[in-house]
Amino acid sequence: MQTAKRLEGIGEYYFSTKLREIEELNKQGKNIINLGIGSPDLPPQPEVIKTLQEESAKPNVHAYQGYKGSPVLRGAISSWYKTWYRAELNPDTEILPLIGSKEGIMHICMTYLNEGDEALIPNPGYPTYTSAVKLAGGTPIPYVLTEGNHWEPDFEALEQRDLSKVKLMWVNYPQMPTGQLPSAGLFKKLVAFGKKHGILICHDNPYSFILNDAPASLLAVEGAKEVVIELNSLSKSQNMAGWRVGMLCAAKERIDEVLRFKSNMDSGMFLPVQLAAAKALMAGKEWYDSVNAVYRQRRDKVVHLLQLLDCRFSTEQAGMFMWAKIPAKYKSGYALSDAILYNAAVFITPGGIFGSAGDDYIRVSLCSAEAKLQESIDRVKTFLKQ
């Protein structure tokens, strides 16, 4: 069957192909340790599960839900933004709960991009930005992030391009895959850039609580709502990736615009999931500290693994990965990843899947127990001795 034109140039998501290969290797008895995907292995808080259990046992919670989400969840998101990010959001008009933030990326592109419109995409960055822009008929324009510029946009270089067709700019701090935290002035510069050129700045913010004591929102910048949409998620910070709960936060006009698309695509989430998500957002600092204590110990192991591999990296990274530069003896991150996969039965993500600027890097996930990370270290040691 001929697929639609919009799928031209859109491949299967890298991880879905790679996971199939890993499955094949496992069938051959290889027992691969997968340090690729950032899916938290720790559970959500116990009260969250209890809320889901209790609420779903009620007889009157099983109907379709409103397109704008439960007021309880929107209220909890508004309080969460105020408490942690010092950003004021009207729970009735400026918050749209999502079935995960990934769908929000698509909704934004479908809402704003016409054929021929351009969207600035970070290289390296989350691959979904590019595919969503293409699927919506827009043209992705990569902007390169470099280690030398702290993985932040080079605004001078951007100013020199023709920006007349650029409608959106995707940004994401803490940055995935580089783990870079935003520098003090970055968010203000982004808002000013958006205002100057009439570009909607789309900030994807799912990692701000992981290995980071100062969560930050682009919406906390004065005047940001004129040009910013922010996506956020419970997948990483609340250990709820499989629950599919995210949010889109912006001025009322943007929420209404996106809702015109989204309400034709899907319907409201299961109410008990929304109520449990609201509970999750009420967690205090101790919860985030307890999760981060686990990630810190794992990071020590990953540091050891990366040192064994002669990689170079910053220890100031936030988020649930370690991003590292490969040594010159490997042609690319792909070569290192394959060498480790086929010789040590450990899978590490090659940085090149996040864009050409990631070619000489690898990304290691912190979503495996310490014992697994130790086992990876042992396997890599054995391989290196051969």
Ligand X SMILES: Cc1ncc(COP(=O)(O)O)c(C=O)c1O
Per CB under 6 A, residues contacting ligand X are 38, 100-102, 126, 172, 176, 204, 206, 233, 235, 241, 246
Q: Nearer to ligand X by C-beta: 111 or 365?
A: 365
Q: How far is the CB of 382 from ligand X (least distance, A)?
A: 31
Least CB distance to ligand X at residue 106 (A): 10
Q: Shortest Cβ distance from residue 112 to ligand X (Å)?
A: 18
CB closer to ligand X out of 38 and 182? 38
Q: Which is nearer to ligand X, 215 or 344 (CB)?
A: 215
Q: How far is the CB of 188 from ligand X (least distance, A)?
A: 22
- Closest approach of Cβ 325 to ligand X, in Å? 20
Q: Give me the least distance between CB of 353 and ligand X, in Å please.
A: 12
Smaller CB distance to ligand X: residue 204 or 360? 204
Strand partners, 323: 363
> Which CB sits closer to ligand X, 132 or 306?
132
Least gap, CB of 254 to ligand X (angstroms): 18
Pick between residue 84 and residue 170 the one whose CB is nearest to ligand X. 170
